Structure 1
Amino acid sequence: MEDIEILRYPIGKFDHGKPVSFEEIKQQVEAIDQLPIKLTELVGKWGDDRLDTPYRPGGWTVRQLVHHVADSHINAYVRTKLALTEDNPTIKPYEEGEWAKLPDSTLDIAPSLVILRNLHQRWVVLLSGLTHEDLQRTYYHPDSKRSVPLSEVIGSYAWHGEHHYQHVYRLAVRNGWTETNEQD
């Protein structure tokens, strides 16, 4: 059994407040753009047995995780637009663990994969048009009690997508599911 910290944070924890270059931000936007494609290619044809497998002991199922990514990125998109149109708005946190227990978390993953593809298309167009000045715009997060610049938000959600993709990918590797994406 792998160390639980590796299972929880397969690519490490996000480094908040780390300065990034404009070139790094462009790479992060590209990662945001590619996430729905990668995730769909990995899990899009999986059956219920795989989708209802937790990615780690005590963790969410793949199904819950896919729905969570859609929920989280919807919030991130709205927060991005708020930061661009208001002066350091206070965002509304949400209880992601509770959201993962709601009835829509038991749905097939196809609606969330479609949401991600379409949402990311709009989000990437928005992010790709940001200037250096726009990247310094902030929102206030009441949980962390700090203002977060959009340059950090972009990095955080590029990390978030890859973090959860790796949860699922590494589960597939551990279970020998990488030879085919079709349910056995």
Structure 2
Amino acid sequence: MNKATIISELKRALTLTIPFFESEPAFLLKSYAPGKWNVRQILAHLTDTEIVHHYRVRMILSEPDCSILAFNENKWAKTLAYTQRDMLLMRRTFTTSRESIIELVDLLPEQIFGRSATHSELGEYRAWDVVGKAATHNMHHYGQLAAIREGTPWAPPGAPAP
């Protein structure tokens, strides 16, 4: 992974995701399958996860060898009012957090992103892992959002189609 590639991936995911924050209220209630998160919940999850990535990359860069805790996305969704969150505030938070990560990748020397911490579930976790995860996680959920928009089924890459 290099700086130019990760910056491009982070910007692309941001550009593709932002329009969903401005969706009509009825669309925000749609899901790609029964019992799965709707658009609003996916966007709230992406926003909260971006905050986590924002924090983690700073911790690893500034305090290498620290401990990084996992979080339970379903507990966050249940506790943090995912169905009621303000869309404008979420968009601003998501965008600002992502742009701040991009700025760090752009400004800091590439080798500093090799610094690592210990993740409570994954073990060694490098700053590159965090910024890479920010892009791939975003694109994973963008796939769900695009499927909802297009009215098509969605399955994780590599899984059998529903």
On whether the aligned pair clears a TM of 0.5, the verdict is yes
Please tell me the residue identity of whatever aligns with 1:100: A
RMSD: 1.8
CA contact (8 A) 2:47 2:90 kept: yes
Pair 1:139-2:107 in alignment:
no
CA contact (8 A) 1:79 1:139 kept: no
TM-superposed deviation, 1:57: 3.0
| Cα pair distance change 1:103/1:78, threshold 3 Å | closer
Aligned match of 1:13: none
- With normalisation by structure 2, the TM-score equals 0.83
Pair 1:85-2:62 in alignment:
yes
* Structure 2 unaligned regions, length at least 5: 153-162
Matches within 5 A, 1:8-87: 20=1, 22=2, 25-41=3-19, 43-87=20-64
Aligned match of 2:158: none
Larger helix proportion, structure 1 or 2?
2
TM-superposed deviation, 1:59: 1.5
Please tell me the residue identity of whatever aligns with 1:130: L
TM-superposed deviation, 1:168: 0.3
Question: Paired residues, what number?
Answer: 151
CA contact (8 A) 1:63 1:108 kept: no
CA contact (8 A) 2:56 2:130 kept: no
For residues 29 and 138 of structure 2, what CA distance do their matches in structure 1 show?
A: 20
* Structure 1 unaligned regions, length at least 5: 1-19, 176-184
For residues 135 and 45 of structure 1, what CA distance do their matches in structure 2 show?
A: 33
- With normalisation by structure 1, the TM-score equals 0.74
